[in-house]
Amino acid sequence: MTPFATRKIRLILELRRAGISDTAVLAAIERVPREGFVPDAFKHQCYEDTALPIGHGQTISQPSIVARMLQALRIDRRHKILEIGTGSGYQTAVLSHLCRRVYTIERHAPLLHVAQDRLEALQRRNVTAKAGDGALGWTEQAPFERIVVSAAAPDVPPLLRDQLADGGIMVVPVGDEYDEQRIIRVIRAGSTFEAEDLGPVRFVPLSPGLGATGARQTR
């Protein structure tokens, strides 16, 4: 048993008590070593239900938020998923256990490079990543059955919404950086979009353009 195993078991129990009932999501979280996605200075907190800094003004989201958002996506093993905001790569790794293919975009290339190395070390072969402006989505690979956004937008991003497949679901935090933010689930039915409020949340803002540069793309 690893030094973090007991803490991980405790976290999974906490997630269950918090209302996470999707067994596939819980199993995926259990399979991903969160200690490998946080800076050394914060490893002792890696299985606490808290967000932690990862550099460039970004954070690794608290596990309960990751679990809530992924549960809300209703992911199927056949799905192709777009993730906006790779960050540390932690949620990307969890997603890779849940679906057929993950396409992930990060605006800070140095963060992306580290995340790619972590995913490669875990042999997560069903992830394609690039540095770019997440608000623009990934038109070359659209449509996507599922889209998850890991930063708060002022409103549901129209370019991302339009990259949903018919019947697709997007989960996105919406709200101002200094005001209330809500998790919004958007479901596409043909040319119409139904939005559902899933409750309060707190994320860093979805910023346009590229952050720190030095991009590379891997498959």
User: Residues with catalytic annotation?
Assistant: 61
| CB count in 10 Å sphere of residue 218 | 13
Q: How far is CA 41 from CA 36, 44, 74, in A?
A: 12, 8, 34
d(CA 212, CA 6): 37
Q: H/E element holding 15?
A: helix 5-17
d(CA 169, CA 185): 7
Spacing of C-alpha 91 from chain mean position: 4
Pick from 109, 164, 156, 166: which is nearest to 135 by CA?
Answer: 156
Pick from 32, 43, 42, 53: which is nearest to 102 by CA?
Answer: 32
